[in-house]
Amino acid sequence: MMKSILKSDYKKLDLIGKASELGAITKNDKDDAKVYEKKIGSITNADSSFAVFRSEKGQYLVEYPFSEHAIVVEGSVIITDMNTGLSQQYSIGEGWVVEKGQKVTFEVGEEGFTKVYWAF
């Protein structure tokens, strides 16, 4: 069955807490962004899921508990690979792949950012 992801879905996400409540590390409370998500689906008999995720302004370190392919659909984010120190800004239509266990920092500006992602 085909599932649609509409732009209107980006505004219907559920608050899942703050970044620190999901295991992220923040320097202080103002960097602890509120985050939202809506699961779109999963693959039967596979450890794989699809979702829309939104972060408000903040800066936080994440150690990925799964591998991910993501594409920005609203706003922008700067991601820094903690192993290499390399930073990259991602805007609408741009994406990345992160491997399970990789540590990255997210720097999210005033407008926040929204991504559609596949976790595997």
DSSP-derived secondary structure for 41-68: EE-TTSS-EEEEEEE-SEEEEEE-SS-E
| Dihedral (CA of 97, 101, 102, 108) sign | positive
- The yes or no reply on domain 12-119 and CATH 2.40.50.140 is no
**Average pLDDT for 66-76:** 97
Mean pLDDT of 8-32: 90
Give the pLDDT mean for 54-60.
97
Q: Tokens representing 46?
A: 């596979």
Question: Mean pLDDT across the chain, nearest whole number?
Answer: 92
pLDDT digits (tens, 9 = 90+) for 73-111: 999 999 999 999 999 999 999 999 999 999 999 999 999
Cβ atoms of residues 75 and 33 within 8 Å: no
Note the pLDDT of residue 76: 98
Domain ranges (residues) in the chain: 12-119
Is the model's pLDDT at 14 over the cut of 70?
Answer: yes
Percent of the chain beyond pLDDT 70?
92
- 67: its two tokens: 């591998």
Give the confidence band of 11 by pLDDT, cuts at 50, 70, 90: confident
| pTM for the structure as a whole | 0.89
Structure-block tokens of residue 28: 């202080």
